[in-house]
A and B are shown apart, each in its own frame.
Chain A
Amino acid sequence: AQKVTQAQTEISVVEKEDVTLDCVYETRDTTYYLFWYKQPPSGELVFLIRRNSFDEQNEISGRYSWNFQKSTSSFNFTITASQVVDSAVYFCALSEINAGKSTFGDGTTLTVKP
């Protein structure tokens, strides 16, 4: 069975600090996809990034970066120089090809204080 664990329930940082959100997953499939979504206070989940299991290259997009390590089954998300607008709940999700559905973690609530 697939499982996604986001051990950090809440994180609070001061603006301009760097912050890393952890995501650990479990799967028996060799082919799968990993995602990060952002849920701002308005409530609508927004897609941030997708990674397939064969692509372990790290990715950087502006202040956001993602570190995918199959050896540790982790897909961590780092925000550099955090801003107040980054305050939201962030979800990591896993989609297995064979299971045919997506599983979300319980999310990490990030609060960035000015």
Chain B
Amino acid sequence: EAGVAQSPRYKIIEKRQSVAFWCNPISGHATLYWYQQILGQGPKLLIQFQNNGVVDDSQLPKDRFSAERLKGVDSTLKIQPAKLEDSAVYLCASSLEGVLGNEQYFGPGTRLTVT
């Protein structure tokens, strides 16, 4: 079974530029999560989708971050414009259903450096 795929793996941009990350969850997984992991910290949930609907985006900085999950499968996370403090690893995860007891399967992450 293929795991969660993310691309790109690394990205370096200058502040005020835009960037987009892509995630393809495990086939059949209805729930998709985007996390931000700053060096030395645990993952922080940015947004959670159930199929193509948003379940939670309370910690998403909506003035600069946006995410979509068209057709309930792939998802894209965008930052526009980027700030220095956005430097982090962006993790995508998926789980079977919207039930919180299901474990999450994580992708390898995208390491973003904003200079």
Q: Are A96 and B100 in contact (CB under 8 A)?
A: yes
**Nearest B-chain residue to A50, judged by Cβ:** B103
- CB of B3, distance to nearest CB on chain A (Å): 8
| Residues of A7-28 contacting chain B, CB below 8 A | none
Partner of B44 from the list A37, A42, A45, A104 (CB cut-off 8 Å) is A104
Query: Which residues of A does B touch, CB under 8 Å?
Result: 4, 32-33, 35, 37, 42-47, 50, 52, 91, 93, 95-97, 100-107
Given contacts A33-B101, A97-B100, A104-B44, 20 further A-B contacts (CB under 8 A): A4-B42, A32-B100, A37-B106, A43-B109, A44-B108, A45-B43, A45-B91, A46-B106, A50-B101, A50-B103, A95-B100, A100-B55, A100-B56, A100-B100, A101-B45, A101-B48, A102-B33, A102-B100, A105-B42, A106-B42
A-B contacts, 27 of them at CB < 8 A, read A4-B42, A32-B100, A33-B100, A35-B103, A43-B89, A44-B106, A44-B107, A44-B108, A44-B109, A45-B91, A45-B93, A47-B103, A47-B104, A50-B101, A52-B101, A91-B42, A93-B42, A95-B101, A101-B55, A101-B56, A102-B45, A102-B100, A104-B42, A104-B43, A104-B44, A105-B42, A107-B42
Q: Are A91 and B100 in contact (CB under 8 A)?
A: no
Q: Are B43 and A91 in contact (CB under 8 A)?
A: yes
Query: Which residues of B does A touch, CB under 8 Å?
Result: 33, 40-45, 48, 55-56, 58, 89, 91, 93, 100-101, 103-109
The 6 closest A-B pairs by CB, nearest first: A104-B42, A95-B100, A47-B103, A45-B106, A33-B101, A106-B42
Main secondary structure of the interface of A (DSSP, over half): strand
**Nearest B-chain residue to A49, judged by Cβ:** B103
Residue among A4, A50, A104 with max Cβ neighbours from chain B (10 Å):
A104
Partner of A102 from the list B104, B105, B108, B109 (CB cut-off 8 Å) is B104
Partner of A106 from the list B40, B56, B93, B104 (CB cut-off 8 Å) is B40
